[in-house]
Amino acid sequence: MPSALASLEGPSFVLTADEPVAAFEVTLCLEGPTAKAAYVHASLTADARTTGDAATLRLESLADRPADEGSDSLEVSAQGQELRFSLEADGPWEDGGRRCSTPEVVEFSAEGLADGQSLEIEAWVVDMDVKWDAGAFGGGRGDSRVSYDRKKGAGNEHTEGPIAGWVGDDFVVGVMTQKTTFNVDTPPHEDAGTWTMVVNGDTMYRLAP
């Protein structure tokens, strides 16, 4: 599948005990022809450091998202730390022309700052990873989630979740730290009129709609 990666850097800023919060609106957009399926993963990476004692940097989405997906935090010291945060990436991605996600407001907040202490966001970058199918294996927006079951000995291996990103032809399923990589041994191709692919050594077939 074709893929593309776009990055946009936001402005640096400083949080203090008097002004511990800053918020920014992020809108993801694509432009191009229609696609049979399109998979979009977006993340925000922030580089931060603080003066004085360590403080906590918290990133929170103000969109209506599940509690385990909508926020993250990190203890920041004078040496500097990096925090990576997944963004909401739902949108009419299969449509043609210019299409965008619903704007998402991301809030940065500092906790534990003393008077005169600051927490500096030296750089923050939004990365948008896009992979699309012009008409081969995908079946539409529902393909942005995976439900996978496989017999393994006497038990059953089950993985379910959104597609979080791609590494070459391989794809990653899950959110936050609960992620599973599926190795695509043979990419989707048509064989005797049926679309098929090999994932983790198992042959899979596309079911007729």
pLDDT at 134: 53
Fold of the domain built from segment(s) 3-132: Jelly Rolls (2.60.120)
pLDDT tens digits for range 23-74: 999 999 887 777 777 778 888 999 999 998 999 999 999 887 766 667 888 8
For 127, residues 6+ apart whose C-beta sits below 8 A from its C-beta are 5, 6, 7, 42, 43, 44, 45
Domain limits, the chain: 3-132
pLDDT at 137: 38
pLDDT of 108 strictly over 90: yes
pLDDT at 85: 87
pTM, rounded to two decimals: 0.61
Query: Quick check: 183 and 200 in contact, CB under 8 A?
Result: yes
**Stretch 129-138: mean pLDDT, rounded?**
59
Query: Quick check: 52 and 130 in contact, CB under 8 A?
Result: no
pLDDT at 140: 37
pLDDT of 209 strictly over 60: no
